[in-house]
Amino acid sequence: MEKGLKEFMEFFGKFVLSDVLPFLRFLDLGGQEKAMRKVQKELDAIGEEWVAEHKQKRLNSGVGKGENDLMDILLKLFEEGRVDIDRDPHTLLKAASLV
């Protein structure tokens, strides 16, 4: 996980020619696009695992029991329907877990 986050931060500050000239994106000069997609998939898999862990923990221990962190609170809000959004809650949970 640390490696994926480190690579993400490196790409975050890296100059990519296709950001300035989008019509060159299909060329993937330097291979940055491919490498960024690889890092994105790794981080997405980590987020999936965290969401699955929290959902399983809520099923095993019962709703509202034990220590709650941000993910548990968000799961509870989504389950109760107290959050009105146009996006997939699962995707939002993964994004929040990586913040």
Cα–Cα distance for residue pair 32/38, rounded to 1 Å: 10
* Residue-level pLDDT, tens digit, the chain, 99 residues: 778 888 888 888 888 888 888 898 888 888 888 988 998 898 888 888 888 888 888 788 765 566 678 888 888 888 787 777 777 777 778 777 776
Residue 97 near residue 49, CB atoms below 8 Å = no
Q: Which helix (H) or strand (E) holds 94?
A: helix 89-97
pLDDT at position 99 = 67
Q: What's the domain count of the chain?
A: 1
pLDDT at position 68 = 77
Domain hosting 29: range is 2-97
pLDDT at position 78 = 81
Instruction: Provide the whole-model pTM.
Output: 0.69
